[in-house]
């Protein structure tokens, strides 16, 4: 019953009393967590989006950069190109988060955004050797509690798949510089392709944008096949497109979906409550996912 669920949460996972936590069906969440706990941590895998999920949305009232923004704001990009990338962001980001438009309508527009942005980046002749410096000079910030999140999953040999429509080379560098790129981490993302001189001349493989993660998962069935013995999934995302990140998991038993609702909160609250089991509203920490992981291990 509702009262038991509330009791369960507050006693066993006190972080559920945090002001940011919203749930449409707390009893369902309780059932999923109890089943996962009974199954044991050796049946668990974590699948997380990167930008605005593992990284912060804002810090001291200022927006934090996505993988793309880390490059866009750097010295590697000339002023004219910076302006063009900013114009693209101002045009397409409102479409990405517009809950009044159906996904089918947004799909071609997202492809357009990523394609144009990548073409602009390629024109800048970005050098592979400069990426580490650009990341270290950027304002990229992993969410508070990232240390426990990455270290604890590693210590308990729980696989972490980071599934990002950002840029793989950049996100790897962010987690490497934070000292948490452990051996249990796998990344599906857009990786840069460099020529023999180490200059960017394209992107590898099929494009991943915010609304085609299901297709991305289907291209990587081998990864999920290896994790067949881990049918319990903790999914973390900030976009409705992130809900399909676990579609490649074979013989899924339980999935607990946690959604960070960072922006346009009032417009999107109901969509998020209907789609994610737990919604974290304007929460810049990993406290709740960490508390669940602690309970499950």
For 8-121, where are the E strands, in sequence order?
Answer: 21-22, 44-48, 58-59, 62-63
Quick one: which H or E segment has residue 248? Answer: none
Tell the smallest beta-carbon distance from residue 162 to ligand TMP (Å): 8
Structure tokens belonging to residue 250: 């074979």
Angle CA(283)–CA(284)–CA(287) in degrees, nearest 5? 75
CA distance 292 to 159: 16
Instruction: Choose the binding region for Mg ion from 173-181, 236-244, 255-263, 288-296 (rule: CB under 5 A).
Output: 236-244
Catalytic residue list contains 49:
yes
Q: Is 283 in the site for ligand TMP (CB under 6 A)?
A: no
Of the candidate residues 26, 159, 166, 289, the single one contacting ligand TMP (CB under 6 A)? 166
**Residue 113 near ligand TMP by CB under 6 A:** yes
Distance of alpha carbon 114 from alpha carbon 102, whole angstroms:
19
Is 68 one of the binding residues for ligand TMP (CB under 6 A)?
yes
Region of 140-148, 164-172, 218-226, 260-268 interacting with ligand TMP (CB under 6 A): 164-172
Task: Verify whether residue 129 is a known catalytic residue.
Answer: no
Q: Which does 165 bind (CB under 5 to 8 A by kind): ligand TMP, Mg ion, none?
A: ligand TMP
Confirm or reject binding of residue 52 to ligand TMP (CB under 6 A): yes
Report in angstroms how near the CB of residue 51 gets to ligand TMP at its nearest. 3
x/- map, 27-66, Mg ion, by CB under 5 A: ----------------------x-xxx-------------
Q: Map the footprint of ligand TMP across residues 169-208, applying CB under 6 A.
A: none
- List the catalytic residue out of 31, 49, 267, 277: 49
Q: How far is the CB of 145 from ligand TMP (least distance, A)?
A: 18
CA angle 143, 148, 149 (to 5 degrees): 65
CB 240 within 8 A of CB 264: no
Measured distance CA(66)–CA(34) in Å, rounded: 35
Which of 297, 282, 295, 294 lies closest to 18, judged by CA? Answer: 282
Residues that bind Mg ion (CB under 5 A): 49, 51-53, 238
Residues that bind ligand TMP (CB under 6 A): 49-52, 66, 68-69, 88-89, 96, 113-114, 117, 164-166, 210
Catalytic residues: 49, 51
């Amino acid at each position: 019953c509702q009262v038991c669920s509330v009791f369960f949460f507050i006693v066993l996972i006190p972080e559920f009393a945090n002001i940011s936590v919203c749930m449409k069906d707390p009893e369902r969440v309780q059932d999923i967590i109890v089943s996962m706990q009974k199954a044991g941590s050796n049946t668990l895998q974590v699948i997380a989006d990167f930008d605005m999920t593992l990284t912060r949305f804002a810090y001291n009232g200022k927006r934090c950069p996505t993988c793309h923004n880390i490059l866009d704001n750097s010295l590697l990009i000339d002023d004219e190109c910076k302006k063009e990338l900013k114009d693209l962001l101002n045009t397409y980001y409102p479409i990405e988060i517009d809950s009044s438009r159906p996904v089918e309508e947004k799909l071609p527009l997202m492809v357009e955004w990523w394609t144009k942005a990548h073409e602009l980046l390629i024109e800048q002749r970005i050098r592979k050797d400069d990426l580490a410096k650009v990341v270290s000079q950027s304002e990229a910030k992993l969410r508070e509690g990232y240390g426990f999140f990455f270290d604890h999953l590693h210590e308990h040999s729980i696989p972490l798949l980071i599934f990002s429509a950002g840029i793989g080379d950049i996100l790897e560098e962010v987690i490497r510089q934070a000292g948490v790129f452990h051996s249990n981490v796998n990344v599906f993302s857009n990786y840069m392709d460099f020529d023999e001189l180490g200059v960017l001349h394209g992107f590898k493989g099929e494009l991943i944008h915010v609304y085609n993660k299901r297709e991305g998962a289907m291209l990587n069935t081998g990864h999920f096949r290896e994790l067949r013995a881990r049918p319990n999934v903790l999914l973390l995302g900030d976009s409705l497109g992130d809900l399909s990140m676990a579609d490649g998991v074979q013989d899924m038993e339980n999935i607990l979906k946690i959604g960070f609702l960072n922006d346009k909160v009032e417009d999107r609250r109901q969509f998020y409550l209907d789609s994610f089991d737990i919604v974290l509203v304007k929460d810049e920490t990993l406290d709740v996912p960490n508390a669940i992981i602690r309970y499950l291990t």
